[in-house]
Structure formats: structure tokens, C-alpha cells
Copies of this chain bind each other. A is one copy, B any other.
């Protein structure tokens, strides 16, 4: 059976998350339903990252095996037609046949995420559910400095969810940059893989640094504590975007 790679964009706010679950509509389920509608096949697709409810994607990747060959463009357009008919907030940006060895999850070399904060007094209207609204002014340079404590290979027990299923809490963060453009603060994170809630845990902790409540040294101490209770409050999912996977 030929294997296909799908590149996927979605607005996560209407879904329980990437993964199929009993408690509501998932992005995985939406795409599997579109495939069933198109080909009559009941498939299980595999994503590069299991994003939580409310988390968005501009470049999620998944693989799926289908019974017959498809031209990538035809598959993309037909799946989008089904997704549109079903009223989904999911779009297939690209589809292509790949080697049967390709695995969206395990073949990934690097994953890139963006976390967006909008820092202003007025609530968000146009950006509601698309960014974390923070009222207090944040010093993005202090956030960037604190972020550098988290770059490199560490035991990230402090910064992962109690529900994280990874065997090891050790990860290598290649990049954690904080930049500002007017009222928008962007945190860009790159690693081969992340732990559950790791970037939202980073974002919540870096906000404390931006408010002047935590120094970079406090962030290092929290990291070295290897204790979930040492983490700052976890940031909401609204600001998180799964941007790209490198293979």
C-alpha cells in the first residue's frame, strides 16, 4: 500500500486536540473521516505531534497508507473538499507519496513551535483564541535572557505535564528565542521533540521573567529542581502554533 505524507493547517479551538478521543471532535478524526468519505477506507493516521485542545498548527505532518496510488495534488484537493463539506477548520496544505519507511513521528529531525502573546490593556477581538492575552507589560529582553537557561540538553521534569507519557524527561532544546513586534511577543522553540506541555510550561515561566518576578537564575533553579511544582503557571493553548517539522 502506498504511503502518503500530509501537511496540515488547523484552528485548534474547536477541537479536543490532535488525537482521536471519546470526548469530542479531534483533528485526527476529522481527517480520517475525510479519507473515509473519499476512499471508503477506515484508516488510522499518525501525526508528528499530539497537540492539545486549542493549540493550532500551520505545519503539522501526518502519514497514512491508502489502498491505491494518488496524485498528491488530487488527494489534497479531494480531502479539502470533504473537510470543507464537513465544516472542519482543517486544511491539507500538501499531500505527497513518500517512502514506506517514512514515519511522521519517528522520522522527525526537528520540530518548530511558535507561542504568541499579545500584550495590551484591551481584550482581543480579532485575535481571540489565537494568542495569549496578557495585560501587564512584559520585558521581552528579560524573557529572552531567561529562556537561554532552558536551551541545551536537560532533565525537564519541571516543565512537563504530570500526564506526560514520555519515558525520559531529558530533551535537547536547540532554540528558545523571544522577540517583540509592537504589542506581539513571539517565543520560537525548536527541538527534535518536546515533552507534553513543555512549551506552554516554558511560556508561563518566561512570562514571570517578563514581569520581573523571576530572574534567569530563578529559571535555572526551577529547572534544576526537577520538580513539576517548581514550574510557573502553564500558559493557555490559544497562543501555541505547531509550525514545521524537518525530516
Total copies of the chain: 2
Q: Is the CB of B123 within 8 A of A84?
A: yes
Chain B residues within an 8 Å CB radius of A123: 80, 83-84, 91
Q: Does A121 contact B (CB under 8 A)?
A: yes
A56–B126 Cα distance when bound, in Å, is 8
Q: Is the CB of A122 within 8 A of B76?
A: yes
Number of interface residues of A (CB under 8 A): 26
Chain B residues within an 8 Å CB radius of A84: 123
Q: Is the CB of A91 within 8 A of B124?
A: yes
Q: Is the CB of A128 within 8 A of B89?
A: yes
Q: Is the CB of B90 within 8 A of A125?
A: yes
**CB-CB nearest in chain B for A241:** B126
Q: Does A178 contact B (CB under 8 A)?
A: no
Chain B residues within an 8 Å CB radius of A125: 9-11, 89-91
Q: Is the CB of B90 within 8 A of A121?
A: no
Q: Does A234 contact B (CB under 8 A)?
A: no
Given contacts A76-B121, A121-B76, A121-B77, contact A10 B90 (CB under 8 A): no
Q: Does A200 contact B (CB under 8 A)?
A: no
A35–B121 Cα distance when bound, in Å, is 19
Q: Does A92 contact B (CB under 8 A)?
A: yes
Q: Does A130 contact B (CB under 8 A)?
A: yes
Interface string of A98-120 (1 = CB under 8 A from B): 00000000000000000000001
Within 123-178 of A, Cβ neighbours of B (below 8 Å) are at 123-126, 128, 130
Query: A residues touching B (Cβ–Cβ < 8 Å)?
Result: 9-11, 56, 58, 73, 76-77, 80, 83-84, 89-94, 120-126, 128, 130
